[in-house]
């Protein structure tokens, strides 16, 4: 699958894992949209939030 990545991170800040992932996804989406010369959401809603949170 060429459209995914595996990441291993170590938290060294007071930020929650959710905030770190949200920030990473947001900056990744902005870079991809810039590269593809497009705007708007990149990921579907189901991918923006882990399924075990509300």
Given a contact cutoff of 8 angstroms between Cβ atoms, the answer to whether 41 and 26 are in contact is no
pTM of the model: 0.60
Residue 8 has pLDDT above 60, yes or no: yes
Contact 25, 13 (CB under 8 A): no
> For residue range 18-47, what is the model confidence (pLDDT) as tens digits?
888 888 888 988 999 999 999 888 766 655
Contact indicator for 17, 11 with CB cutoff of 8 Å: yes
């Amino acid at each position: 699958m060429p459209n995914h990545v595996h990441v291993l991170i170590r938290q060294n800040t007071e930020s929650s894992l959710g905030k770190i992932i949200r920030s990473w996804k947001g900056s990744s989406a902005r870079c991809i949209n810039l590269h593809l010369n497009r705007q708007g959401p990149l990921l579907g809603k189901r991918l923006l939030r882990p399924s075990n949170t509300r």
